[in-house]
């Protein structure tokens, strides 16, 4: 049976970082209902093996599919880098959209000199999904990757600016951007990283174009729903929040990423 336009969209991430994608989705699709699942009991995904991340992604996707979603958005870069094919096959014909391809396309479009830096978790960098996606779009573009695992911890703690955040940003990024062949474009390959945009920008300087995959993913999702006749065109959408651990912490830290307050009683605890 074909999905109804009134059915919600499912979004999942390893934690609260994917709320940046949810925020962009809500702006692009204000009439849609959303169910967001943050697998906070098992974050971070970025330090775990591809097999473990795929298993976690399947469990999260199945939980959302069981609630009757019409589309799945994988807002976790690490999960998207390893699990999209298996999720697409498992949930077909439901559309499954990840953050990798939209982010790669946006970076290729804006790079001026054909050199893109990608910062991400260890798992995303190790999997090489972004260089592969960028090369598939434009072989002329050079991609340089850098794992920045502490950015995730800083964002989860709410330490998004100040001397500690800036010192870590400089440690990670100065070797990339203080060279004659520095990239002209920086792709934020983790949904946590937009929260640290202030210290990141102080290191890169104003000439570097920063690409956040949240908005590009939202546009790709909107286009896919229209293409499939699944877009809801009227009404005001709602959001249901699910977490696998710590609703209070999810609410506190998640408010940073969502851009609006979240009360602990708005977060439903889910056991995967």
Angle between helices 100-110 and 77-91 (to 10 degrees): 130
Any idea what DSSP says for residue 17?
T
- Indicate the helix (H) or strand (E) that contains 267: strand 267-269
- 190 is known as an active-site residue: yes
CA–CA distance, 137 with 147 (Å, rounded to integer) = 23
Catalytic residue among 57, 148, 190, 225: 190
Burial of 51 (0-12, 13-18, 19+ CB in 10 A): exposed
The total of other beta-carbon atoms located within 10 Å of residue 222's CB is: 15
Any idea what DSSP says for residue 265?
G
The total of other beta-carbon atoms located within 10 Å of residue 66's CB is: 9
- 71 is known as an active-site residue: no
* Structure-block tokens of residue 176: 């990339």
Residue 63, SS3 per DSSP: helix
> What is the Cα Rg of the chain in Å?
18
CB contact at 8 A, 133 and 119? no
Catalytic residue among 75, 76, 154, 243: 76
The total of other beta-carbon atoms located within 10 Å of residue 52's CB is: 14
**Residues that are catalytic:** 76, 190
């Amino acid at each position: 049976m074909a999905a109804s336009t009134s059915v919600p969209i499912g979004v999942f991430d390893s934690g609260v970082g994917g709320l940046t994608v949810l925020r962009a989705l809500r702006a692009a699709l204000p009439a849609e209902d959303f169910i967001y699942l943050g697998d906070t009991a098992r974050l971070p995904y970025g330090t775990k093996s591809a097999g473990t991340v795929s298993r976690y992604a399947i469990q999260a996707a199945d939980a959302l599919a069981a609630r009757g979603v019409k589309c799945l958005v994988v807002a976790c870069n690490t999960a998207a880098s390893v699990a999209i094919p298996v999720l697409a096959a498992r949930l077909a014909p439901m559309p499954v959209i990840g953050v990798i391809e939209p982010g790669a396309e946006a970076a290729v479009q804006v790079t001026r000199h054909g050199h893109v830096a990608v910062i991400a978790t260890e798992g995303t960098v190790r999997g090489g999904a972004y260089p592969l996606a960028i090369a598939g779009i434009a072989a002329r573009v050079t991609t340089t990757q850098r794992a920045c695992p502490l950015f995730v911890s800083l964002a989860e703690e709410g330490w998004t600016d100040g001397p500690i955040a800036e010192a870590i940003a400089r440690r990670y990024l100065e070797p990339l951007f203080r060279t004659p062949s520095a990239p002209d474009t920086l792709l934020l390959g983790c949904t946590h990283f937009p929260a640290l945009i202030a210290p990141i920008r102080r290191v890169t300087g104003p000439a570097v174009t920063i690409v956040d995959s949240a908005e590009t993913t939202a546009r790709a999702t909107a286009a896919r729903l229209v293409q499939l006749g699944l877009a809801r065109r009227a009404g005001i959408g709602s959001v249901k929040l699910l977490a696998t651990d710590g609703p209070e912490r999810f609410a506190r830290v998640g408010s940073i990423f969502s851009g609006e307050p979240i009360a602990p009683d708005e977060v439903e605890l889910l056991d995967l």
